[in-house]
Amino acid sequence: MSARLIIWLSLLCVAIPHVLAASTWNKVCTLAPLGDGQDDTDQVEAAIAQCGQNGLTVFETGNYNITRKMTWDLASSRIELHGYLNFQPDIQYWLNANNTYRVVYIQDQASWFVVTGHDFHIDAFNTGGINGNGQPWWNYYTTVPRLDGDGRPLSLTVYQATRGRISNFHIQSPPFWCNAVAESQDIVYDGMVCNATNTNPEFYGQNIVPNTDGIDTYRSDKISLLNWDVTCGDDCLAIKGNTTNLIANNITCRGGNGIAFGSLGQYVDLNDDVENVLMENLSMVRLDPSIQPNMGTGVYFKSFDATVNGSPPTGGGGGGGYLKNVVIRNVMLDNVTLPIQLYQTNGAQPGDAPSKYQFSDLTFIGFSGTAQTNTIVDLACSPAAPCPNMSFSGIDVAPPAGQAAKYICQNVINEIGLPAPCNVTGTD
Ligand SMILES: *[C@@H]1O[C@H](CO)[C@@H](O)[C@H](O)[C@H]1NC(C)=O
Ligand SMILES: *[C@@H]1O[C@H](CO)[C@@H](O)[C@H](O)[C@H]1NC(C)=O
Ligand SMILES: *[C@@H]1O[C@H](CO)[C@@H](O)[C@H](O)[C@H]1NC(C)=O
Ligand SMILES: *[C@@H]1O[C@H](CO)[C@@H](O)[C@H](O)[C@H]1NC(C)=O
Ligand SMILES: *[C@@H]1O[C@H](CO)[C@@H](O)[C@H](O)[C@H]1NC(C)=O
Ligand SMILES: *[C@@H]1O[C@H](CO)[C@@H](O)[C@H](O)[C@H]1NC(C)=O
Ligand SMILES: *[C@@H]1O[C@H](CO)[C@@H](O)[C@H](O)[C@H]1NC(C)=O
Ligand SMILES: *[C@@H]1O[C@H](CO)[C@@H](O)[C@H](O)[C@H]1NC(C)=O
Ligand SMILES: *[C@@H]1O[C@H](CO)[C@@H](O)[C@H](O)[C@H]1NC(C)=O
């Protein structure tokens, strides 16, 4: 690990917001669900308006029926969410662009619930959080095309927030991304369970829960992701443009694509600069394939190439920037398809110009477990931006029985520490 990263980590310890004891609040709001058939949105908004700044808001256990978009603007406050915000699965209502927020710039994604402000703590005690009622959404999209920016709402959006903490929070059945954090600083997520699991037997064996990413991070500094358990059909964590000083520790990813850095370079006029990321104690768990057929990678890195093919949110490319100083340590893999991957051809077409997006200084330490194919590492850097400083140690991932492990390093300037020579010819 670089000295720079260690210095930054010691700074993080003083950045965690502290929590005041209940007795210190002079405003306290307590609410309970109104009950079946009733709409709780008004009383939730009223409680946050009254106690969301310099106050304590206590949600008793049970389901709060939320029927429209909602922003919590919090300041110096604490939320005790013992129950679930239950977002009604009225698909056509939410798909009307007037009924969600579009605050997450990247890919123009929609949000039905935004948390903003500063110095807040939301604790859901492992008994509450959000119910996204995703199953009808997943069913619906088996017959309707899915596109980025099509209005499927992401469940919990933290936007323009500073010094916030979210603890012991469960998000059940997210229709789309479980979390996003954008344009925020000093946010700690400690204890997050996201679970996108199809339970409709009609679709067993298929991944009908794509785009249920655990979190996407964008334009944010000093984000901590601690103690996460993500069951999904896409990226467990997705680190996107201008994420800096991110730490992730004790993350279990069940199914999906694994942990992504990207896509990067989607917007031709915007650099995506990502640096200083430390992830450790990661576990990738392959699920019963009738429930979730994919367990793609441990970690993977992807950029668009240098040709613009269409425009965001669905197309794009041609964007620049760099990703550097990323350390991934202590990773347990259960039969993943490809443990470590990097490619710079996302959305590419034949004849495109090679990517100029620059990856460098990646460190992989202590990868164990099993892979489903014999390629353990596949770095396909761009010929227009070869990768310096690819460092490995303790890479001990077993390929399928009877096969020899393969390591591929295309356009890699210098690699150290793989257990066998890295093939510069590659196959990709
Ligand atoms: C939520 O509130 C609406 C009224 O706005 C009602 O029609 C619906 O039945 C309620 N849902 C639940 C689960 O109570
Ligand atoms: C959204 O709201 C605007 C302004 O009220 C209205 O003109 C437009 O028709 C609405 N769009 C939809 C899809 O309902
Ligand atoms: C996710 O939800 C499914 C379906 O309800 C359940 O079977 C599974 O145990 C849950 N996974 C976790 C990690 O809680
Ligand atoms: C790791 O995170 C999980 C929740 O995802 C939690 O149950 C477990 O206690 C954590 N482990 C440690 C050592 O903190
Ligand atoms: C990232 O930060 C750089 C440097 O401040 C800036 O030029 C670029 O536009 C930012 N990119 C995004 C996606 O915000
Ligand atoms: C990661 O796990 C190892 C072994 O369980 C433990 O010693 C270490 O403290 C963990 N790292 C962090 C940052 O908690
Ligand atoms: C790995 O996963 C594949 C596909 O689900 C399965 O066929 C194979 O038996 C698994 N191998 C191991 C060692 O679990
Ligand atoms: C590669 O790593 C060395 C040693 O940390 C550093 O001095 C050098 O600047 C790095 N090169 C690039 C191009 O990042
Ligand atoms: C490298 O990979 C190429 C393409 O798969 C293969 O033909 C070649 O034999 C490999 N070289 C070594 C040294 O393994």
**Percentage of the residues of the chain whose pLDDT score is greater than 70:** 94
Which residue's structure tokens are 């619906």? 140
Q: In this structure, which residue's CA is closest to atom 12 in ligand 9?
A: 423
Cβ proximity of 66 and 40 under 8 Å: yes
How high is the pLDDT of residue 89? 98
Distance CA 136, CA 175 (A): 8
Pocket test residue of 280, 327, 329, 367 for ligand 6, highest count of atoms within 8 A of CB? 280
Tokens in use for 164?
A: 């916030």
Ligand nearest to C-alpha 362: 8
Q: In this structure, which residue's CA is closest to atom 8 in ligand 6?
A: 281
358 within ligand 8 shell (Cβ under 6 A) = no
pLDDT (tens digit per residue) in 180-229? 999 999 999 999 999 999 999 999 999 999 999 999 999 999 999 999 99
**Environment class of 211 (CB within 10 Å of its CB; exposed 0-12, middle 13-18, buried 19+):** buried
Does residue 162 have a pLDDT over 90? yes
DSSP H or E run through 91: helix 91-95
190 within ligand 4 shell (Cβ under 6 A) = no
- Ligand 2 contacts (CB < 6 A) are 96, 98
Ligand nearest to C-alpha 43: 1
DSSP H or E run through 5: helix 3-15
| 288 a catalytic residue | no
Tokens in use for 380?
A: 């396909």
- Residues forming beta bridges with residue 331, ordered by sequence position: 282, 367
Q: Which residues contact 112 (CB under 8 A, 6 or more apart)?
A: 66, 69, 70, 87, 94, 99, 100, 101, 153, 154, 155
The active-site residue out of 190, 234, 235, 378 is 234
363 within ligand 8 shell (Cβ under 6 A) = no
Distance (angstroms) between ligand 6 centre and the Cα of 280 equals 8
pLDDT (tens digit per residue) in 14-63? 344 445 555 689 899 999 999 999 999 999 999 999 999 999 999 999 99
Pocket test residue of 178, 195, 292 for ligand 3, highest count of atoms within 8 A of CB? 195
373 within ligand 7 shell (Cβ under 6 A) = no
Q: What pTM did the predictor assign?
A: 0.95
Distance CA 48, CA 52 (A): 4
